[in-house]
Copies of this chain bind each other. A is one copy, B any other.
Amino acid sequence: MADRLQELAGAELEVLKALWHLGPTTVREVLNHLHERGKKVAYTTVQTLMIRLEQKRFVVSDKSDVAHVFRARVSRDRVTRSRLKTLMAQLYDGAAGPLVLQLVRNERLTPEEIEQLQELVGDLDPGE
């Protein structure tokens, strides 16, 4: 129960991403954004998702205007961290190593990412 972040369903995440992108905004704006991205959904579907997100406390709404304004309460990084933690717990008893190695081995990184990574990793001390 503690980790409510985990209860984010797929379609809800889609909406939350729109909120991250757009900033505090209305159902209508999120709907437009999704339509631009090629995602066809009904107005009320988005509305339902946003209400569920609020019930789950991932967003808050300001109801002073006719069209309620919703705002994300959790950051993208926070959600990522939570998801990664779940993944680590589920698959590797909480160890981060296998995931990191898997990613570095199998995925393409941009030059900037490589540089940042080299710097970060260079600072690590295997110790003993």
Contacts and interface: CB of A to CB of B under 8 A. Distances in A.
Given A96-B109, A103-B84, A121 B126 contact: no
Given A114-B126, A126-B115, A104 B87 contact: no
A104 to B, nearest CB: 5
Contact of A76 (B83, B91, B113): B91
The oligomer's copy count stands at: 2
Interface residues of A, number: 47
A40 interface: no
A117 B100 contact: yes
Interface of A: 10, 13, 17, 76-77, 79-81, 83-84, 87-88, 90-92, 95-118, 120-122, 124-128
Q: 4 tightest CB-CB pairs across the interface, nearest first?
A: A96-B107, A97-B113, A111-B126, A114-B126
